[in-house]
C-alpha cells in the first residue's frame, strides 16, 4: 500500500484510537484501510492529506500502484484453498448470516452452496420458466408505474416488490400482490436493516461488540429488524411443511425439507434453512433493487444514453412483444450500459469478508492464519488500468472501437473464485428484462434538471445505498 486515508471527520476520538491498534502477530503499521491511489476510495472515505505508509512500515512506495485486478483475482482465485472461510460476525449484529450459505465455511458451506445452486438451477436460473416469470413481473411493474399518472414518485418500494417476487417464486413457490401488507412490511424491514447494516455504527459494532453492546444507539435496532424477518421466514417454512409432498417439491423450502428427511445428519437443518433463505432474500431483493435505482439515476443524468437504449429496443424488439433474453446479444449498447450501471453502483464495495485458514505468503507479506481479508471490489471496478474512463459513467468502458460489446476481466461486482455470487445469472437476466421492459414503454424523467440529480451513495459500507430521489414516468 502506498497511502493510508485518515478516518472521517466525524469519527469519535475513541474510534480513531481503536482503528490504530495493531493486533498481536500482525505486521507493523496502521490497521486503517490502505489504498494504492487516493481517488479509488474518495467516494467512500473523506480524504485529507494522505499519510505515507512508509512512516509506519519503512517500506519504499512504488512509483506506480499495483494492478488491483491482478492482486484481488490472484488472491481470491488462486488462494481459494487458503481462504474458504468467512470470519465470524458478531451474533447480536448480523446473526442471520450465520450459518447460512453466505457466511458458512467448510463442509457446511460446500453442502449449502451445492444445494442452493441446484435449487436456483431447477427452479430459476436454468429453466425457460424463469424468463417468463421475470417478463410477467415486469408487466406487473409497468402496470403499477402507469398508475402514477406522470406524477413524481419514489420508485424504491415498487422496484423492491418486483425483484423480491422473483426470489419469492423460487423460495416460496408463489408471488405476492404489491398491496399485500405482510409483504410490504417484510420489504420495509429488509430495506431498513440493509441500510442500517451499511452505516458506520453497524460496522463499528461488529468490530467492538463487547464494548458497544451496552451503549445505546441505532446499532441496537438491527437485531430487532432481522429477528422479525426471520420469524416471517420461519412461519412460511411451517406453512410449507404442512402441505409438503416429498415426491413433488414446489420450491426451495420443499427441497430443503426433503433433503433433511433423506439425510438427518446433513446441513439441511431448520436453522440453516431459515438463514439461507434470508441470505437469498437480501441478495435477490436489496442488491437488485439498489442496482435498478442507481440505473434509473444514471439514465436520467445521461438522457443521451437512455435514448440510445431506446433506439436499440426499437430496432431489435419493436413494440409488438416484450423484450427477451435472446435479444441481449443483439443489443450491445444496452448490454454495455447495464454492465456500466453495475460497475458504477458497486453494490457490495468491500465484498464479503474472508479468513485465511493457514499462514499464507502473498506479494512478499506473510498473512497469519485467522486473518480477516476484505477483497475491495471497488478498487478493481475503478481501476484506470482496466477501464478507459473509470471515474465517469460511460458505457464505452464495455464497448470496442466498432461498438461491439466487450467483456472486461475487471468487471467483478459478483466477486470471484468459489465465492462467486450464487445468483449471478439470475441478476443479469432481471436487470436486462426489467430495464428494457421499462424503457420500451416509458421515459424516466427527473422533476429537477438532470445535472442536479444525486448519484453518490446515501450510505456506503457493507453495501452502497442509493440516494433518495423521485422521478416521473412519461409514456412513449
Binding residues: 421
Pull the grid cell for residue 295: 440505473
Strand partners of residue 365: 362
Give the integer Cα–Cα distance in Å for 414 and 424. Answer: 7
List all residues 6 or more positions away from 9 whose beta carbon is below 8 Å from its beta carbon.
46
Give the integer Cα–Cα distance in Å for 375 and 349. Answer: 9
User: 44 with 378: CB under 8 angstroms?
Assistant: yes
User: 137 with 288: CB under 8 angstroms?
Assistant: no
Pull the grid cell for residue 140: 406487473
Residue 457 to residues 42, 116, 225, 345, 452, Cα–Cα distance (Å):
12, 31, 22, 8, 15
Binding residues for heme: 421
Residue 363 is classified by DSSP as T
User: 230 with 96: CB under 8 angstroms?
Assistant: yes
Give the integer Cα–Cα distance in Å for 247 and 50. Answer: 62
Q: What are the strands, taking DSSP E only, across 368-449?
A: 372-373, 442-445
Please choose, from the candidates 476, 153, 467, 474, the residue with its C-alpha nearest in 3D space to the C-alpha of residue 297: 467
Pull the grid cell for residue 235: 412461519
List all residues 6 or more positions away from 263 whose beta carbon is below 8 Å from its beta carbon.
none
Pull the grid cell for residue 65: 500502484
User: 288 with 430: CB under 8 angstroms?
Assistant: yes
Give the integer Cα–Cα distance in Å for 350 and 378. Answer: 7
SS3 content of the chain, % helix, strand, coil (to 5): 50, 5, 40
Cα 418 from chain centroid (whole Å): 17
User: 221 with 241: CB under 8 angstroms?
Assistant: no
User: 166 with 159: CB under 8 angstroms?
Assistant: no
Please choose, from the candidates 324, 307, 4, 3, the residue with its C-alpha nearest in 3D space to the C-alpha of residue 138: 324
Amino acid at each position: 500500500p502506498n497511502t493510508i486515508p485518515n478516518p472521517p471527520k466525524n469519527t469519535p476520538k475513541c474510534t480513531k484510537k481503536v482503528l490504530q491498534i495493531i493486533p498481536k502477530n500482525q505486521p507493523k503499521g496502521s490497521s486503517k484501510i490502505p489504498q494504492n491511489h487516493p481517488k479509488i476510495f474518495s467516494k467512500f472515505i473523506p480524504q485529507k492529506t494522505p499519510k505515507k505508509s512508509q512512516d509506519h512500515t519503512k517500506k519504499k512506495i512504488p512509483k506506480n500502484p499495483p494492478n488491483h485486478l491482478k492482486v484481488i483475482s490472484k488472491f481470491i482465485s488462486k488462494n481459494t484453498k487458503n481462504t474458504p472461510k468467512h470470519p465470524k460476525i458478531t451474533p447480536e449484529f448480523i446473526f442471520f448470516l450465520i450459518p447460512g450459505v453466505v457466511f458458512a465455511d467448510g463442509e457446511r458451506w460446500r453442502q449449502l452452496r451445492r444445494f442452493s445452486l441446484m435449487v436456483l438451477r431447477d427452479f430459476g436460473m436454468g429453466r425457460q420458466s424463469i424468463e417468463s416469470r421475470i417478463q410477467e413481473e415486469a408487466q406487473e411493474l409497468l402496470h403499477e408505474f402507469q398508475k402514477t399518472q406522470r406524477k413524481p414518485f419514489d420508485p424504491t418500494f415498487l422496484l423492491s416488490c418486483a425483484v423480491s417476487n422473483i426470489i419469492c417464486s423460487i423460495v416460496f413457490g408463489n408471488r405476492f400482490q404489491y398491496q399485500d401488507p405482510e409483504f410490504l412490511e417484510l420489504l420495509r424491514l429488509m430495506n431498513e436493516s440493509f441500510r442500517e447494516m451499511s452505516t458506520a455504527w453497524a460496522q463499528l459494532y461488529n468490530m467492538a461488540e463487547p464494548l458497544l453492546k451496552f451503549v445505546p444507539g441505532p446499532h441496537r435496532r438491527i437485531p430487532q429488524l432481522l429477528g422479525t424477518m426471520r420469524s416471517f421466514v420461519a412461519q412460511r417454512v411451517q406453512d410449507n411443511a404442512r402441505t409438503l409432498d416429498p415426491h413433488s417439491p414446489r420450491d426451495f423450502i420443499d427441497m430443503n425439507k426433503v433433503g433433511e428427511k433423506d439425510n438427518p445428519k446433513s446441513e439441511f437443518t431448520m436453522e440453516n434453512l431459515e438463514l439461507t433463505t434470508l441470505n437469498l432474500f437480501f441478495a435477490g431483493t436489496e442488491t437488485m433493487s439498489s442496482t435498478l435505482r442507481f440505473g434509473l439515476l444514471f439514465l436520467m443524468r445521461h438522457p443521451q444514453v437512455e435514448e440510445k437504449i431506446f433506439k436499440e429496443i426499437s430496432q431489435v424488439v419493436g413494440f409488438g412483444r416484450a423484450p427477451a433474453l435472446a435479444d441481449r446479444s443483439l443489443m450491445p449498447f444496452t448490454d454495455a450500459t447495464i454492465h456500466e450501471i453495475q460497475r458504477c453502483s458497486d453494490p457490495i464495495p468491500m465484498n464479503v469478508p474472508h479468513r485465511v485458514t493457514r499462514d499464507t505468503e502473498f506479494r512478499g507479506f506473510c498473512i497469519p492464519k485467522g486473518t480477516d481479508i476484505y477483497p475491495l471490489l471497488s478498487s478493481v471496478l475503478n481501476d484506470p488500468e482496466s477501464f478507459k474512463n473509470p471515474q465517469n459513467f460511460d458505457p464505452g468502458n464495455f464497448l470496442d472501437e466498432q461498438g461491439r460489446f466487450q467483456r472486461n476481466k475487471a468487471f467483478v461486482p459478483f466477486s470471484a473464485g468459489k465465492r462467486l455470487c450464487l445468483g449471478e445469472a439470475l441478476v443479469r437476466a432481471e436487470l436486462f428484462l426489467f430495464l428494457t421492459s421499462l424503457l420500451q414503454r416509458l421515459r424516466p424523467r427527473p422533476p429537477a434538471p438532470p445535472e442536479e440529480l444525486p448519484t453518490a451513495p446515501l450510505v456506503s459500507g457493507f453495501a452502497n445505498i442509493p440516494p433518495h430521489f423521485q422521478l416521473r414516468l412519461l409514456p412513449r
